[in-house]
Chain A
Amino acid sequence: MIDKMLDSKVAGWVDDRTHLIRYIRFHLIDYPTPKNLNYWYAFGSIALLILVLQIVTGVFLAMDYKPSAILSGGGFSVAFDSVERIMRDVNDGWLIRYMHAVGASAFFFVIYLHMARGMYYGSYKKPREFLWMMGVFILIFMQAIVFFGYLLPWGQMSFWGATVITNIIGAIPFVGDWLLQLVRGGFSVGDPTLNRFFALHFLFPVLLGIVVLWHVMALHVVHSNNPVGVEASEKNIIPFHPYYTVKDLFGIGVFLIIFCWFVFYHPTGFGLMIETDNFNPANSMRTPADISPVWYLTPWYEILRSVPNKLLGIAGMALAYVCLFLLPWLDRSPVRSARYRPVYRSLLLIFFVSIVVLGYCGHHPVTPMLTVVGRTASVIYFSFFVLLPFIHKFEKTKPLPEDI
């Protein structure tokens, strides 16, 4: 059917003038893939689907949302009221908003798994270094986008989360104060902040979409790695369509079942995806007893919190991202997949655990006990990157197969 459509006269006419059909064939149909990709490779397609969902639901929400912190007749703010209006009065507004909120969490969940897969199978190594760095950039970009978005409901967590995070910018030496006012548009987070964050929350996802397209196009230059990590020979290469279109669609189906379960039964994600305190309108005179960011930001937040010094804490958090960027150069082993690298494999699994532990600590209020745990996990996080350049010297890798 698809072949027939792409071979039709109309398609040919368009292709002669735009190369559109050629692009479709190149990226979605003929794209040569190793035949041994497992379901871990479906997360890229799933993430793409979520991006589209976020943009569609976001545009619809923007039609009813009002970015104003001015007090409304009811004593709350215009923004807070407009979100409640979406929830109660706009037809199916609740559904669209919950899809958007759960979608944000789903996006991060899927991206983290996508990255974990890349680390496990060594997909960041030559020639895919740039692809990996684009990915880390996309992660940071996504975190900026959710940070803008989380302010919009103008609840307690919105307000105090934005206050704390913008203050991080203010701590940058020399230009901090200037930059802080530039971001906030005032002495503190307020109406001007909300307005500009809304504008940026609308713009940035569009830019993200462009970067993501570039990420996919770059992948199609260097081609997919595979679980074995060696180049596949000609006979083990299959076209993307129908083999992986179908496999990815199955993955998407499973994902959507879980996604819908959350949207319909646990839209706040047990207080993790929309924090309970955010159902209280923002109050600049009172910080909630326990403020912590949404779950997908907590590991980075915990690194910040582990260092008992403002500037060093921020530097630590920045370094955590820098390490990810440098991963392709820190790891010097010629073998890609962790399947054949026992030492790397153990270290990597410990590294994954440290991130989960960091996330757990970052989500809970500080206690002496959790501080120790959080600091230990931070040390493990960085130790992974410190050890990485040396392990190839003593690691006895398992023999690699000739072909996949």
Chain B
Amino acid sequence: MKDKTRRDFLYTAASGAGAVGTLAAVEPFMRALQPAADTLAASTTEFNVSTVAPGELKTVAWRGQPVFVLHRTPEMLKDLHGHDDLLRDPMSHAVPEVQAEWMKTDEQRVTRSIKPEYLVLSAVCTHLGCIPGFEPTPGQEAWGNIVPPDWPGGFHCACHGSNYDLSGRVFNHVPAPHNLHVVPYKYIHDTTILIG
């Protein structure tokens, strides 16, 4: 009897140690799958926003991913107001990624940019990562029924039909959960931004 419990103990201890050892051996493999150091190496991109004409959209590459730089005209900025009821998160509160330290006033939470005329946002749709198309004129005339009838102008992701306004704020009733993410950037010169 005594022998038996001794055996049971040894059996449990040995298989327990074996299991822990196996798990520990899995770890380096998991780490090997994670991004390598050279892939991770932080990178920055400089961009001169004055090269973007009023009303124009340019796409800049940062860490291999696209960033929108949109030069908004005064009308575009005006049109940002008055359709809050269409939006899921008009003041960009939902998650940290849609906000930035410099977003202090309500107005900044609407324009979502350091200088209101230059919108700088991640171009990655928060649904499943496509790049939305730029469809700035209001109404359905230019875009047909892929955008809602009361379209205020903005971005339309053709992949699964998500809509964002000209501040990258997401509409209600679309698959994308959040506003387009804000990327870290600052002005290092009057018209030059440093992304990253």
Answer whether residue B80 sits at the interface, using C-beta atoms and an 8 A cutoff. no
A163's closest neighbor in chain B, by CB? B129
Answer whether residue B10 sits at the interface, using C-beta atoms and an 8 A cutoff. no
- Across the interface, do B128 and A163 meet the contact criterion of CB distance under 8 Å? yes
Answer whether residue A181 sits at the interface, using C-beta atoms and an 8 A cutoff. yes
Which residues from 186 to 211 on chain A have a C-beta closer than 8 Å to any C-beta of chain B?
A: 186-188, 190, 192, 196
Q: A188-B65, A308-B174, A367-B145 are in contact. Are A285 and B160 (CB under 8 A)?
A: no
- Across the interface, do B64 and A284 meet the contact criterion of CB distance under 8 Å? yes
B39's closest neighbor in chain A, by CB? A186
Mark contacts of A289-315 with chain B using CB atoms, 8 A cut-off: 1 yes-contact digit, 0 otherwise.
111000000000000110111110100
Mark contacts of B107-139 with chain A using CB atoms, 8 A cut-off: 1 yes-contact digit, 0 otherwise.
000000000000000000011111101000000
Which residues from 141 to 162 on chain B have a C-beta closer than 8 Å to any C-beta of chain A?
A: 145-146, 158-161
B132's closest neighbor in chain A, by CB? A287
A289: which B residues are within 8 A, CB to CB? 133, 158
Shortest beta-carbon distance from B151 to chain A in Å: 13
- Chain A interface size, as a band, is 35 or more
A284: which B residues are within 8 A, CB to CB? 61, 64-66
B124's closest neighbor in chain A, by CB? A188
- Residue from B34, B39, B65, B130 within 8 A of A164 (CB atoms): B130
Answer whether residue A286 sits at the interface, using C-beta atoms and an 8 A cutoff. yes
Q: A187-B35, A366-B161 are in contact. Are A167 and B128 (CB under 8 A)?
A: yes
Answer whether residue A173 sits at the interface, using C-beta atoms and an 8 A cutoff. no
Which residues from 165 to 192 on chain A have a C-beta closer than 8 Å to any C-beta of chain B?
A: 165-168, 171, 181-188, 190, 192
- Across the interface, do A287 and B161 meet the contact criterion of CB distance under 8 Å? no
Bound CA span A310–B145, Å: 22
Answer whether residue A73 sits at the interface, using C-beta atoms and an 8 A cutoff. no
A196: which B residues are within 8 A, CB to CB? 33
Bound CA span A68–B145, Å: 40
- Across the interface, do B127 and A310 meet the contact criterion of CB distance under 8 Å? yes
- Across the interface, do A287 and B160 meet the contact criterion of CB distance under 8 Å? no
Bound CA span A181–B176, Å: 20
Interface contacts (Cβ under 8 Å), in number, total 94
Mark contacts of B45-73 with chain A using CB atoms, 8 A cut-off: 1 yes-contact digit, 0 otherwise.
00000000000000101011110000000
Q: A285-B131, A286-B131, A290-B158 are in contact. Are A187 and B59 (CB under 8 A)?
A: no
Answer whether residue A160 sits at the interface, using C-beta atoms and an 8 A cutoff. yes
| B interface: dominant SS | loop
Q: A160-B130, A308-B175, A309-B177 are in contact. Are A366 and B65 (CB under 8 A)?
A: no
A167: which B residues are within 8 A, CB to CB? 127-129
- Across the interface, do B39 and A192 meet the contact criterion of CB distance under 8 Å? yes
- Residue from B59, B131, B176 within 8 A of A310 (CB atoms): B176
A181: which B residues are within 8 A, CB to CB? 34-35
- Across the interface, do A285 and B66 meet the contact criterion of CB distance under 8 Å? yes
Answer whether residue A333 sits at the interface, using C-beta atoms and an 8 A cutoff. no
- Residue from A188, A190, A291, A368 within 8 A of B145 (CB atoms): A368
- Across the interface, do B30 and A182 meet the contact criterion of CB distance under 8 Å? yes
Closest 8 CB pairs of A and B: A366-B161, A167-B128, A164-B128, A287-B131, A287-B130, A167-B129, A186-B39, A310-B177
Listed in ascending order, the chain B residues whose CB lies under 8 Å from chain A are 30, 33-36, 39, 59, 61, 63-66, 126-131, 133, 145-146, 158-161, 173-177
Q: List 16 A-B contacts (CB under 8 A).
A: A160-B130, A182-B33, A184-B35, A185-B34, A186-B64, A192-B39, A196-B33, A284-B65, A286-B59, A287-B131, A291-B130, A308-B175, A309-B175, A310-B128, A310-B177, A366-B160
Listed in ascending order, the chain A residues whose CB lies under 8 Å from chain B are 160, 163-168, 171, 181-188, 190, 192, 196, 284-287, 289-291, 304-305, 307-311, 313, 365-368, 371
